[in-house]
Amino acid sequence: MPTELAAQEAASSPAIKTLQLTYRKKINAASSENVKSSEVQASSPDDLPFSTTEMVGGGGALLILTGLALVAGREIRKRFRGFLSEISQLKETIATGNTERASLAAQLEEAIRLKKSIESTLSNTQTNFSQYITQAEEVVEELKGLIRQREDAFYGLRDQSEEINVQSKAQLESMKKAEITLRNQLRVVTGGVNRFKEEIKIYKEIIESLRSINTDTKEKLRMARQKARDLENGSAYRTLVRQFEDLTKTLEGIRRANDLPLSKPFHLKDRSTASLLS
């Protein structure tokens, strides 16, 4: 702040010095004019406050000098009053300049205060912006972690679906073999009563085995349906549904071939998850 005030004073000093120099020149010029006026008045007898006849005698020179002094004094007083008026105006101008300088100093202080406030605001803004960037980076990392979890879950369900598919195919092959064995055994039953009873016993065991297999298959179907609820990929979902439909049709075919009671058929009216689970 003192540096700015000193700079303003340094800037206003040349103007004040110029005004002072101008008025000094005017005073010097007025003094020169007074001297010339005195000389001219002294050379003009008509302008003197006494007649030329009074100059006769020993006091003539003194009277002349007294008259010249009176005339010069009046002129000097007149000019001096004008100079006093101009000096008063100069003082008013200087006072106005000081007032303006004080106003400029106050404005400069306000500008410096605003500058510091703006710098503080900018610093706070930069700090807040850095915090926002850090928070955004943390959110991005969390989103990446969630995406990785969803990918792991999806690939895990896909692997489980493939495993279920392989197990279902193996069970279907086992059922086909059991069906062939059952038909062969039914052909041999006519060989005799004892043999028929033995074959019936075997037949019952096979039926129990088929029921156990059917129960196990139903449980796996139920688990697959439960996992299908969380499966979001449409292509993998439709593939799994087609596998379930094929498995159900195969089971129904085996039941019909062996005259077993039919279970409730599984029909997929709609490909949506809601219709599958209804």
**In angstroms, rounded to a whole number, what is the distance separating the alpha carbons of residues 114 and 100?**
21
**In angstroms, rounded to a whole number, what is the distance separating the alpha carbons of residues 167 and 174?**
10
| Tens of pLDDT, residue by residue, the chain (278 residues) | 445 444 544 444 555 566 556 656 665 665 555 444 444 444 444 444 444 444 444 455 666 667 667 777 777 778 778 778 888 888 888 888 888 888 888 888 888 888 888 888 888 877 877 787 888 888 888 888 888 888 887 788 777 878 887 887 888 888 788 778 877 776 665 555 566 567 667 767 777 777 777 777 777 777 777 776 656 555 666 676 777 777 778 777 777 777 666 555 444 444 444 344 43
Cβ–Cβ under 8 Å, residues 60 and 54: yes
Residue 98, token pair as written in the block: 């000081």
**In angstroms, rounded to a whole number, what is the distance separating the alpha carbons of residues 123 and 218?**
68
- The 10 Å CB-count burial string (b at 16+, else e) for 82-114 is ebeeeeeebeeeeeeeeeeeeeeeeeeeeeeee
Residue 88, token pair as written in the block: 């008063």
DSSP code of residue 205: H
Total count of residues recorded for the chain: 278
